[in-house]
Structures are given as C-alpha cells and as structure tokens.
Structure 1
C-alpha cells in the first residue's frame, strides 16, 4: 500500500500537532491521535482543577491539527486555538478548552465531547485520551541539592518540564490507571504507529508507562515508528543526546518493541554519533532512518520544528520500505504448511 490505511500517533503538545499535520498530508485513510493527559498548567490546569475533568489542552491541539483543510475546518481550527486576552477570569483560556469542557458537561461523556468537536471541524480522524482520567507526572530529579547524587521528587507536568535539575526517571500517578479501551482499539487496527516527537518526559514517556499501551504497540503488526526530537529541550532533557533519548525510552518501557527511529539528517553530523544511536535503537529492535524533516525559513534558517510536508514524505518512504521488506521476508520464508 502506498499510504497508510490507519495511522495512529501518540504524544502531546506541539510535537503531536506537527505529526498530525503530517498524517493528514500522508494521505492516510484514517487517523487517530492518542494524547497524554497530565497537563496541569495554564488554561488546561485551571479547568482540570475547577471542573475535575481531563485537561483538554493537548486534546484540543490534536483536534485543531486534524481539522479539515477547507474553509470551515480552517475557521474552526483557528477558533479552537484562539485565546482570550485581558486580565479577567477568561484571560488565557483557549476557546477549544472551554468548548470541550462545556460539551462534556452537556453530554456527560468526555469522548462524546471530543467527537462532537471533530464533527464541527470536519476532522480527518478521532482523538482519544490515553487514559480516561487526569494523570500526574512525578519525576526523580538530580542536581537540586549540593550533592548531585541526591534525588528529589518533583511532581506536576509544568514543574517537571521546567525543573533546573536533571530528570532521571518519571512515573505517572495513579500508576495503575487503565488504558482507554478506544485507544487500544485504535492501536489494534493500525498499520502505522508513531510515538513522538515532543517533551520527552512529560508528553512522550507517559504513554509507555501504561502497560496495556506498551503491549498493544509491541504486539502490533503495524510499522512502529519513533520520531526523535530535533534537539534536546531546555529543562527536562537539557544536555541529552539523541542516543540518550532512546536509552531513556528503553529504560521506562523495557518490553517495548519498535521498528524504525526517524532522525533529522542534520541532527547528527558525526558518524560515531550515528553508530551509537543505531546501537541504542537496536535495544528496542529498531533501525535508524535519517531524513530532512526540519523547517527551514525563507531566508534559509533551520529552526527546531518539524516540517509537516517533509515529515509526511519521510514517513511514507519508511512505510513503503517497511512493507516492501515485510513482503520480501514472507516470500523467502519457507511454507510451513507443506
């Protein structure tokens, strides 16, 4: 197949937003977004605390990314993302966050609220929380004391993302939160699954801390693709190499199996770095693929943002190569029925 029949993308925030734009441009027949639900800052955090709901911000962004590429879809996408100004009670709230919260109250069903917004936006797909309850992130952080060996707990997505220390490990609370059954169904039906890019500890890793999600990914026959960040982020992954991103992923999800790791071709100019990265990928059962996926401005400046068109082209190349290799392997395998 030249394009995926069902592409499922896991993540949150701006990284997932760019991946979903790429999913639209890949020609995928069906798209599902599985979204982290640990946000505790800004408009999402306020609504989470005041209404006791799943924080809507990352889900809103996913819906905006999947909005139809037509005038109605474009209008709704911009409306969902619009934030109120001023200094009053509404200041900083995103319209989409309030819409999701209001529809949840009317319908008494969070997923139904997300699906109604998808209809309004002429969405190309559906958006699912990874679990059906708000999560908290708690990190073990070094470097907050004079003794760098001392580990301190830091709780909350905003606190983890902005810590001046170095994050070693994270966990989700509650640790036994069951996976969203709709998210698992989407993974079971996928023929292409992506994980990342995004804030590694607060948007990407929370997905693989849900055991049923890891099991569904690892047992899938789909192409399982990790999209690495373009660079380390200030705060939670400061100083991280591309190799270390994969080591951390493997440490947090020891049973996770993937097939490919997509890396921007300009991110690792050193051949030795590429060799180390490939070794790290092999721990997860994967091969590394390099491609140009970075946004370049009109004046030729490369910025730390994935270009949806370049990303779509790279994903399609990997998808076709993977399926071709799988078909070839089936052709040369002995017929066990004879």
Structure 2
C-alpha cells in the first residue's frame, strides 16, 4: 500500500494523530507498557531486490522488488507500536513529505515529522536465495545546527508529551555542515537525562564513546559484533571476546550493553552480570532490521530488578529478531508475546561466533 503524508502543517511539523489509549494515564494495557520515543536522524526509503544470486559485474535480474520506509528508529517504533506500546517516532521529513510503500496510515499516527528541507535518502538491499543480504546505503543528508536543534527539541517535546520511559537514538548520524563532523549528540543526551528518561544509543559511534562526559553516557547501547569491536578496538570472534569488549564499554560509564550476535543470539552485559540468550536456527530471508526488531522486543517489557523481567526482555529480543530475518522487509507481521523456545544462561566462553 502506498500512503502519502505530504501535507506539512504549522510550518515544520506533520499533523499528528494518535490512536486512543496511547498517552500517559490512559486506561488499558498500553498504560502498563514502557513508553518509547525514537529519533531517526537519517531515515530512508529502502528498495529491496530479490535475486537468485548476486553476480558482480553482470546484469542481475530481480525476481521481485519491495519498497518501504525504514531507518533504525523507524523500525523500532513500528514494532513497538504493533506491540501496543505508546511510542513516538521523531524524524526529519523532506519537502516531499512521507511517501513510500510500507509507510502505512496506522504507523503514521505515531510519527512526529520535522521539516528540514532535505531529501530522504534511498538505500538498496540485495537479497539472494540463500538469505545473504547486501546493503548499499546512501549517505545521510547533512544538517545545519538549526535543523539538528529542531529535531532534538521535537524529541524532548515528545518525551514530555507521552511521559517516555526510554529515548532511542537510532541509525546513521548526519554530518553537521558547520563542523564537517557528525552531529554532536551529547547535548541531546544531557537534556534527556534532565528529563529523567533512560537513553539508548543504537548507532555505531566507535571511539567517540571514549570522549563523552560522564553526564551524557547512554544507559543502553546496542551494537552488533562488528560495532562492538569498533567501539573497543578489539576483535570479537567468540563469546569471551564479546563479554570482555562489553566490559570495556561499560567501564566508560554505559549501563548495559545489548550485543546482537546474529545466529549466535544476543549478549546482555549489565550490573547483574552477563547473560547469553539464543533461539533455534531459522530460515533467513532478509537480515536487514533484525537488530532493530530485537531492540524493540527488549524495550517492550517493563523492566524491574527481578530476574523474571530481565529474562522476559531477552526472550522477546531473540524471538522478535528471529521473526524479523524471516520477513522480506523490516516490518514484523505480528508480535510474539511469550516465546518459550529461547535458551538463556551464562555465556559459554569457548563458543566461536558464526
């Protein structure tokens, strides 16, 4: 379905329509679930081509093509919205507004768009019959300080409006045209801390994490194995490597590291120690967005100090990620409430990552 939301109102924001029962204090199940605001500074239109196999230097014929609106924070917000969590997805919208297959009217109810006058990038995803995924991602459109500031302000406004438990910064970071470097997220994180909301970082920042002040460290980071190695400068080839790398990241002030390890499951390292969660092997169709689905599953559960809630969050993370790789797009067809086939325990130090 192709749904257009091209009407920009109030100078810079798309009209917002919220489903009943998705704000603080509303009765029903949504009121008991974590509330989440996501910010996706560089959303994309993803065009997915399905082929028998990808042949470099040759003409490749696609068996099918899917087009959908995506981006880390977009994917997380869409899955949480499907699960019934109160959510708001903040993102920069070009003058053309939102127009893409998969950006359905129901999801648009939770979008907070900020007009920045920049085009939404288009990414290409090549998927062969064996499930190997090749991503060709365009660079994010650069932002000036005013545009970045308006995005950050919109995110803070949404945190206040829905009484968010979590704020998630997801995806690639645009370049600040005034500095030539990536936009500085530290003031954003400081403002979120002042608002009392837990902060999740779902972007690959590498060694920049070393330079952050103590008052703006995220509560949660969600790297994959390659990003975890980039953050620490150490190769991650085994579970022992992953646990040791996560400890290095936590030593810089990060509360919890949630590392997605592909077919080897998920590693959570926090104050209560490390847990390794994994599920049965499954058929892989498209790996794009699996980590986002896993993060959404993890954040969808109300967290307390009890072990049961921690295990419940990890079960959902693994099962939602496994469900995501079986789909052609990053959109989950349904939500798995209480998966029972997930194994959770202490990491097996000698296990080599696939």
Task: Give the alignment's TM-score, normalised by structure 2.
Answer: 0.38
Between structures 1 and 2, the one with greater helix share? 1
Between structures 1 and 2, the one with greater strand share? 2
Task: Give the alignment's TM-score, normalised by structure 1.
Answer: 0.40
